[in-house]
Amino acid sequence: MSVQVLTFIIVGASFLLYMGIAVWARAGTTNDFYIAGGGVHPILNGMATAADWMSAASFISMAGLVSFMGYDGAVYLMGWTGGYVLLALLLAPYLRKFGKFTVPDFIGDRYYSQTARTVAVICAIFVCFTYVIGQMRGVGVVFSRFLEIELWLGVVIGMGVVFFYTVLGGMKGITYTQVAQFCVMIFAYIVPAVFISIMLTGHVLPQTGFGATLSDGSGMFLLEKLDMLSTDLGFNEYTSNTKSYLDIFCITFALMVGTAGLPHVIVRFFTVPKVSDARKSAGWALAFIAILYTTAPALASFARVNMIETINGPDGTGMSYAEAPSWIKNWEKTNLISHDDKNGDGKMFYSGDERNEMTIDRDIMVLANPEIANLPAWVIALVAAGGVAAALSTSAGLLLVISTSVSHDLLKRNLMPNISDKKELLSARIAAGVAILIAGYFGINPPDFVAAIVAFAFGLAASSFFPVIIMGIFSKRMNDKGAISGMITGIVFTAAYIIYFKFVSPEMNQPDNWLFGISPEGIGTIGMIINFAVAFVVFKFTDDAPQEIQDLVESIRFPKGAGEAQAH
């Protein structure tokens, strides 16, 4: 069977599975819709959390980042994974003990302030919309390539599936759907990596193949060959570091605390029965995420070697464009690969200098990898299903945060305190539906800065949510004025820095112009420090938090007991 037919079958079967789970686990109450009734087993919650986090960015873009950036791409691996260590140690059990539905709910109650709650809602909605637009776009790219349909139609199909199981099942349906999606995406990620590792190095495990000698008889290590190819073609050495150590630290730390402050990840720890289960969930999530994240560097390296040798030919002088493998022609239709025959010799050539004739989007590396390596059609279709699963799983979590922020934090806890449980649930579903329509529109018509704004989302989470949550747990005297001042200052500084270098003056986005040589991707670390500093300065000139709030903080510092999640 052709790749297209197999993709229809495998992706279609996965869609039926997701919708079937949503019907089986449909939400009947706000408790079910917001936190899955608080009864999810920690292992299952760990799987769902892993699927929630491993978005299209992790599944599709992670290996592409490492493949094109080499050693410098390691900051994303370290930062995103390290964020879960922070979650397990500093946040998960205490937030679970507090027993609220959402992050804005925690911030609003802990700082006894509707202003703090409103600022948190705005941050949550902005961060989540930033991500969900990218997920919808990812679905469209996968569908347009493998199902050979228009990108807009692929986005619409993805919208329909997410709408069905998010609106019907809420967190309960999403949780069990994400368990299935985790299994699909991990299988889809590991299978081609194992195949290619065996082909290139003879090792079954990609993780060991990454550091092994090639099986082509050259006696060279994989990374040794990549270094040689990179320097010969005008790139930096694959294993070399081109960033300053301060920038590496700031990017890694911003990604870590940004991860720990993302609302769609934090809310997952409200779904388990006990406080101890929240910590266990974080541990299981880290283990499940490690399966993909330890495979990504190997997969990136395999893909880069295969891509360079395929495009430049066995003799390294270029492959005839007329005889180019089908994967290049197929991906050209998506405009993610293009060829410019500069010297008119009819050949393709890929390099990092003036000889280069190929423009290649790094996001194709995982999706195109099985085709580049000439793997069976069913493997190609499986990877397509994995990419869609990754995009849909995260989309559902993000959309749920948007809907609960509107229905619970804005309506129930702010504008309409007397709203009934039934009307609140209806409002949540309407908000989710509207959010899906908006996300779908921007997925079909993305602004030029969608890729760049991802750094904005992490910087915002790092400089706003993380400090205010940490202070809320570990500084019982911290008051509302300090927290709000710090949150706003951190957001404004981080936003202004990223907007200036990413959008206003992108030509100035160079290390010589950065503050202390820190890139926009790492500036969230400085924003976080400013948040803490401003909060404590304002706190010193104002009154302590009320005694009842200090008693509340003292109680959540000792996570004993379940602490049933409360809506009121």
Predicted pLDDT at 511:
87
Cα distances (angstroms) measured from residue 428 to each of 10, 174, 439, 443: 32, 14, 16, 22
Q: Decide: 18 and 169 in contact? Cβ < 8 Å.
A: no
As a 3-state breakdown, the chain gives helix, strand, coil percent values, each rounded to 5, of 75, 0, 25
Tell me what the mean pLDDT of segment 219-241 comes to.
90
More confident residue, 49 or 55: 49
With a CB cutoff of 8 Å and minimum separation 6, the contacts of 170 are 27, 32, 33, 34, 36, 400, 428
* DSSP per-residue codes, 340-359: --TTSSSEE---SSTT--EE
Q: Decide: 554 and 474 in contact? Cβ < 8 Å.
A: no
Tell me what the mean pLDDT of segment 221-242 comes to.
89
Tell me which range, 82-96, 245-259, 430-444, is most confidently predicted by mean pLDDT: 245-259
Q: Which of 527, 409, 531 is nearest to 468 (CA)?
A: 531
- Token pair in block for residue 120: 């948190």
Is residue 116 scored above 80 in pLDDT? yes
Q: What's the first-to-final CA gap in the chain, in angstroms?
A: 56
Is residue 65 scored above 50 in pLDDT? yes
CA angle 455/470/121 to nearest 5° reads: 60
Other beta carbons within 10 angstroms of residue 405's beta carbon come to 28
Handedness of CA 383, 137, 64, 347 (dihedral sign): positive
Is residue 451 scored above 80 in pLDDT? no
* Burial status of residue 84 (CB atoms within 10 A of its CB: 0-12, 13-18, 19 or more): buried
* DSSP-assigned beta bridge partners for residue 303: none
What are the sequence ranges of the domains in the chain?
Answer: 3-302+376-556
Alpha-carbon dihedral angle through residues 10, 15, 20, 26, given to the nearest 10 degrees: 150
Tell me which range, 326-330, 392-396, 431-435, 474-478, is most confidently predicted by mean pLDDT: 474-478
Mean pLDDT value across the chain: 82
Q: Decide: 248 and 255 in contact? Cβ < 8 Å.
A: no
Is residue 560 scored above 60 in pLDDT? no
DSSP 405: I
Q: Which of 11, 43, 33, 21 is nearest to 399 (CA)?
A: 33
Instruction: Give the separation between CA 408 and CA 207, rounded to whole angstroms.
Output: 44
Instruction: Give the separation between CA 347 and CA 301, rounded to whole angstroms.
Output: 24
Tell me what the mean pLDDT of segment 123-146 comes to.
74
* DSSP-assigned beta bridge partners for residue 320: 347
Q: For residue 437, how far is the Cα from the chain centroid?
A: 21
Q: For residue 411, how far is the Cα from the chain centroid?
A: 28
**480-499 vs 114-146: helix crossing angle, rounded to 10:** 40
With a CB cutoff of 8 Å and minimum separation 6, the contacts of 148 are 4
* pLDDT tens-digit readout, 479-494: 999 999 998 999 889 9
Q: Is the pTM of this model over 0.85?
A: no
Predicted pLDDT at 32:
62
Instruction: Give the separation between CA 145 and CA 158, rounded to whole angstroms.
Output: 14
Q: Decide: 552 and 558 in contact? Cβ < 8 Å.
A: no
Say which CATH superfamily domain 3-302+376-556 falls into.
Sodium/glucose cotransporter (1.20.1730.10)
- Token pair in block for residue 54: 């491993």
Q: Decide: 350 and 308 in contact? Cβ < 8 Å.
A: yes
More confident residue, 514 or 556: 514
- The band of 67, judged by pLDDT with boundaries at 50, 70 and 90, is confident
Q: Is 522 helix (H, G, I), strand (E, B) or coil?
A: coil
